[in-house]
Chain A
Amino acid sequence: GDSVTQMEGPVTLSEEAFLTINCTYTATGYPSLFWYVQYPGEGLQLLLKATKADDKGSNKGFEATYRKETTSFHLEKGSVQVSDSAVYFCALSESGGTSYGKLTFGQGTILTVHP
């Protein structure tokens, strides 16, 4: 079945540091890939997505590129802020068939940014 593996956390950075959170996936078809973010005490919000190979999703300074050859979708940001402290989830959704948009999530990575 489908699966998503994220880098082990938690991740602690100083403000303005570079961020990378690794994500790799296993899927039988051609999935869409997502990064969701969960701020303390809140539900999940879509951060960015990519629907086909070589697509780059971007939002709020975060970027991730859909790499089919390495089955990866790593999240990057050039300069993190304290307000980026949250839990980040990588996820995939199989397109078409009987998937009905079901999401498969990675285990989540806790990011803490210090001033």
Chain B
Amino acid sequence: NAGVTQTPKFQVLKTGQSMTLQCAQDMNHNSMYWYRQDPGMGLRLIYYSASEGTTDKGEVPNGYNVSRLNKREFSLRLESAAPSQTSVYFCASLLDRGTDTQYFGPGTRLTVL
């Protein structure tokens, strides 16, 4: 039981390049989330998926797109990376609203030059 996994762990991009961050969970959770972590700002929600087949914007969605590929997988895409997207990205999952507790992946550290 791996929990929430993320790939890659580290990535360096040049401005304008694109990439997809992958996230998968094996806990049969319904909801999944993408956050970014910046120094002094805590974690901010980028996008979330309340259930398979649905996605919604969070607090800071600009410059990102997401795909809920199936119940297990939730990917985050940067179409044209910018230096302002340099951050640590965390994926999380939640069984359902009644349980409250989100489980987090280990994170992806992204640098955009």
In A95-115, the 8 Å CB interface with B consists of: 95-96, 99-103, 105-108
Q: Which residue from chain A places its CB closest to the CB of B49 in the assembled complex? A: A100
In B40-84, the 8 Å CB interface with A consists of: 40-45, 48, 50, 56, 58
Residues in A neighbouring B16, C-beta threshold 8 A: none
**B101-A89 in contact (CB<8A):** no
Partner of A89, one of B42, B58, B106: B42
**B100-A102 in contact (CB<8A):** no
A46 to B100, CA, bound (A): 11
Range of interface residues on chain B?
20 to 34
Residues in A neighbouring B102, C-beta threshold 8 A: 46, 101, 103
Question: Is A26 part of the binding interface, using a Cβ–Cβ cutoff of 8 Å?
Answer: no
**A43-B100 in contact (CB<8A):** no
**B43-A43 in contact (CB<8A):** no
Give the 7 A-B residue pairs with the shortest CB-CB distance, closest first.
Answer: A105-B42, A43-B104, A100-B50, A44-B104, A101-B94, A107-B42, A105-B43
Residues in B neighbouring A44, C-beta threshold 8 A: 43, 90, 92, 104
Q: Which residue from chain B places its CB closest to the CB of A90 in the assembled complex? A: B42
Residues in B neighbouring A77, C-beta threshold 8 A: none
**A43-B107 in contact (CB<8A):** yes
Q: Which residue from chain B places its CB closest to the CB of A1 in the assembled complex? A: B59
A93 to B44, CA, bound (A): 13
Question: Is A24 part of the binding interface, using a Cβ–Cβ cutoff of 8 Å?
Answer: no
Partner of B48, one of A100, A105, A108: A100
